[in-house]
Structure 1
Amino acid sequence: MNLTGQLIIGAENVAATAGTMKALNPATHEWIEPDFALGDAAHVHQAAVLADEAFDSYSHTSLSQRAAFLHSIADNLESVRSELASRAALETGLPQVQLEGEVNRAATQFRQFGEVVRQGRFLQLAIDPAQPERQPRPRMDHRLQKIAIGPVAIFGASNFPIAYSVAGGDTASALAAGATVILKAHNAHPGASEIQARAIRQAVQEHGLHEGVFSMVRGAGNTIGEALVDHPLIKAVTFTGSEHGGMALYRRAQRRPAPIPVFTEMTSVNPTFILPAALAVRNGQIGDGFIERMLVNVGQACLRPALLIAIKGPGLETLRSAMVKRVSEAAARTMLTPGIHASYLDGLKLMERAGARRIAQGGASHADFDGQSALLEVDGVRFLSEPLLAQEVFGPSALLVSVDDEAQLLAVARSLQGQLSAALHLENSDLALARRLLPVLERRTGRIVVNAFAHPQEVNYATVHGGPFPATSDSRFTSVGMSSIERFLRPVAYQGFPDVLLPEALREANPLQLPRLIDGQ
């Protein structure tokens, strides 16, 4: 596939009006051809008008039509797997084989959402039949279904250039809901973004859908993003990235004349608690496994375990030694962008100034943007006195917190802000402490893992990838898994309708044979 470098706005390839950019290979520090177009607010308006024009027809496609469309996107992604992974590897420094796995995951998500659409449970159909004889006042017929919220803007992430980018779960779940999508591509991987966008547009054309179902824009600085959030035709926004960036978009959206929801995934240290009996018998195993998961993606994964809390006692020294050994043996690897690399180094300096002691570091860097792994340690008293130590350092580092007793462990847990996940390692004799810890963690995270680590995560119906602020801006929703479709839905009730005028899913004969709640049953 020859890359055009142009914006994809509906069926049109659009040339630059605000300059161009090239992708950077972070491993070689070399610029990669071709030039990629940068757009402006006029392109956002063009895409938003198309998305709005497409919304009524697309949101009313039949469930079978929409599911087939999602399956076609999956097929198209798989047809360019090797090319897409190869280009993404050039733009990110990540291994091609890993990125081919991301393509598989992206395709799988589209197929999973296709099945969600076919099953129709996401519509949450409910019927309260008329009761004309009810006294003192008759009840009219009431019927409810969920519909798509409207055109949505999705911000592609930097750290997973496929699975959380143009063809990621946000796009899949929004299209499954019946929303039209404008995707803001991340400038760190423009070539990979174009390949994905063309795969989606091809499916739009194959199924004869309105061209405004999907567009992809790109811009310099904040102009494009701000224009997307401000545009009155956009009805929701998703964002994966830093707390600073996510909250800037969130606050901007609330200042609109008609505020809209912004679903952000921002920051998490994914704390791991090792309870005393588990520490005594599985110390080295846990320490080694923790660091193994921390190092995935050069520490640039939202679910990497970055904070480990253990009570001083039998097994702590062996745990520490295993972690030191694994970190010391880790080779430095290329980080995704110069900006992420610089922020990582700054974050380590801030942690050390706050009182953390570096007890191990990995192999030396040999290139400009190599991330050298690091293990830091602090005691419970210091951790509780310095909030900075609980903040995320995005990269291949972890903090070991050694606490004095159960009371201090619980105090550390209570001091944490919202997290995407938390993990417990325990044995049967730890159950009493675990029961005390669980309510604390339930208030602070959307997922709790026992005797495993937060990463990796399955993508399924019970998946939760969300949590209280600052992990996300709305803890009621997940950004991964089948229920992530709920972000893009809102309820509509139909009262007193003649059967012929009702949406097909709510008609008396249930022609689609979908599950429905009738009079609460």
Structure 2
Amino acid sequence: MITHNIIGFQQSATSGKYIYATDPAMLATLPEAFATATAEETDRAVSKAHQAFNIYRKIPGTRKAEFLHEIAKGIEDLGQVLIERIMQETAYPEARVIVERNRTCAQLRMFAAEAISGGWKTVTIDPALPDRTPAPRPEIRKMMIPLGPVVVFGASNFPLAYSTAGGDVASALAVGCPVIVKAHDSHIGTNALVAEVILEAARKTGMPDGVFSSLNGDGMHTGQQLVLHPLTAAVGFTGSKQGGRALFDLGQQRENPIPVFAEMGSVNPVFIFPGKVRSDSKGLAGQLVASMTMTVGQFCTNPGLLIALKDHHTEAFLDELAIALKVIPEASMLNHGIYKSFHRGVAAVREVNGVIMLHDHQSSEGLRTAPVLATVPADVFLAHPQLHHEVFGPFSIIVLCENMDEMLSVAGALEGQLTATVQVSDDELTETQPLIDILIYKAGRIIMNGVPTGVEVCAAMTHGGPYPASTDSRFTAVGHHAVQRWLRPVSFQNFPANLISGMTND
């Protein structure tokens, strides 16, 4: 395992400072000492990426695809070594880790196909009109080009799919952008294993030195330097609203502002119509509890807010939820920061007058926690905006509405979301239109009779949404169109065809 910073094809450890991974289940410090990056090493990584960009962007898509395929193969070839390290650093069960590994490799191969197709260039050609009067029109061609070096911050809750070889990295590499990864402290050993795979894949496929670097950071300093570096062209981030907003603000404060694509907070509201509760109260409760507690609720799409009409059927539904939650055992959260933030968020909810805790849980030994469920009347919810904020972890609050108008008021008061879900019976489908009309301007993905967890990697997926779900609701962090974050359009007017041959896919 490489414990130094990876700067292109070189390793570097000059700071004399080290950070260590922690086993959250055992609260044990793992033995490997990972060298933190100095300001000089950070500068060198970005400078190398800039130099590599001038070569890498011109490499044919077929060769970029070979690079991505080699990364996927290398991750698979790590086998149990990688799986066990992730389990050790996250306390995730093996099945969960294998699913994420398979998703990560499939995603790499999907973006390899995108690199080959060249469709991301979205070439548009307006032919010349030499005989047009009163003035002829020259031929104009428009295409997308890569922005340049991209900085990617690893996510705490996805050590593979949103980290060192995740969607941000794969999509940027597919369209010709070198990448510098800021490793996440929570799974820094996993990062080291995957970064070495990418390094070897780059060498094997003849990619330029600097196409990929991985830096170990100590606190916020390394991240700030990466965003502020004048040669950084764009940033990808998955994490908290506080962290994402700080990076976004840094990106805008630069002399030359850059896009910071941050995927951040979301409570992923679930609107439950009365007919759905009447027809399948127990099944719906089980479905929502499973989604709420999956991986100790540590998903950005966790259903943290349920909205229902107050009646005796809903009261029975609440009982079903409480029963289903009682059999969910305690489990370890990812790290101290997430654990403390979760219990701080629950405590803030608990203090609001009118909130009733249906299934409560106080701090346990270590980082172990159990799910928490609360209810609140809609008028109290509307009067207390702090109840609208994400509590990252196994938590949901149920808003009880007196009527459908109040449910619509709750929908209208919400911040931007990654997802919004509508649970409805067939007989009520026509009644959902006023709600849907609100939700399409609140969320990036709207789900009918499902759960928000489980983000399909496909061309039609939108993983993003209005702020604070993301910093730019026009883009997605998942699926084929994730590449669009790392591109900008250029028009070529009156260019001879031979000068732009190979640049377009016409």
TM-score (norm 1): 0.95
| Residue of structure 2 in register with 1:139 after alignment | 137
Q: CA RMSD in A?
A: 1.3
List runs of 5+ in structure 1 lacking aligned partners. Answer: 507-513, 517-521
CA contact (8 A) 1:18 1:40 kept: no
Q: Give the % identical residues.
A: 37
Deviation string 1:372-395 (CA, Å, 9 cap, x unpaired) is 211111111111111111111111
| Residue of structure 2 in register with 1:411 after alignment | 409
| Residue of structure 2 in register with 1:519 after alignment | none
| Residue of structure 1 in register with 2:443 after alignment | 445
- Mapping of 1:147-162 within 5 angstroms? 147-162=145-160
| Residue of structure 2 in register with 1:464 after alignment | 462
CA contact (8 A) 1:328 1:361 kept: no
Distance apart, 1:367 and its partner CA: 3.3
Deviation string 1:315-351 (CA, Å, 9 cap, x unpaired) is 2122111110111111110000011101111110000
2:90 partner amino acid: T
- State the distance in 2 between where 1:188 and 1:457 align: 23
- State the distance in 2 between where 1:368 and 1:282 align: 37
CA contact (8 A) 2:273 2:309 kept: yes
Corresponding pairs, count:
505
| Residue of structure 2 in register with 1:165 after alignment | 163
- Mapping of 1:61-460 within 5 angstroms? 61-313=59-311, 315-355=313-353, 356-361=355-360, 367-460=365-458
| Residue of structure 1 in register with 2:27 after alignment | 29
SS in 2 for 1:91: helix
Distance apart, 1:240 and its partner CA: 0.9
Distance apart, 1:314 and its partner CA: 5.0
SS in 2 for 1:295: helix
SS in 2 for 1:189: helix
Q: Which stretch shows the higher mean deviation, 89-98 or 408-417?
A: 89-98
1:359 partner amino acid: L
Q: Given the superposition, is the C-alpha separation of residues 365 and 354 from structure 1 closer, same or farther in structure 2, using an over 3 Å criterion?
A: closer
- State the distance in 2 between where 1:333 and 1:456 align: 20
| Residue of structure 2 in register with 1:488 after alignment | 486
| Residue of structure 1 in register with 2:4 after alignment | 6
- State the distance in 1 between where 2:94 and 2:488 align: 39
Deviation string 1:378-423 (CA, Å, 9 cap, x unpaired) is 1111111111111111111111111110000000000100000010
Which 4+ runs in 1 deviate beyond 3 A? 364-367
List runs of 5+ in structure 2 lacking aligned partners. Answer: none
CA contact (8 A) 1:92 1:189 kept: yes
SS in 2 for 1:232: coil
1:145 partner amino acid: M
| Residue of structure 1 in register with 2:472 after alignment | 474
CA contact (8 A) 1:333 1:365 kept: no
Deviation string 1:107-160 (CA, Å, 9 cap, x unpaired) is 100000111122221110111111111111111111111110111100000011
Deviation string 1:193-235 (CA, Å, 9 cap, x unpaired) is 0011111111110111111100000111111000001100001
1:211 partner amino acid: D
CA contact (8 A) 1:70 1:111 kept: yes
1:389 partner amino acid: L
- State the distance in 1 between where 2:220 and 2:38 align: 10
Deviation string 1:440-469 (CA, Å, 9 cap, x unpaired) is 000100000001011111100001100000
SS in 2 for 1:33: coil
SS in 2 for 1:315: helix
1:96 partner amino acid: E
Deviation string 1:33-52 (CA, Å, 9 cap, x unpaired) is 11111112211110011000
TM-score (norm 2): 0.98
CA contact (8 A) 1:284 1:321 kept: no
SS in 2 for 1:447: strand
- State the distance in 2 between where 1:360 and 1:57 align: 57
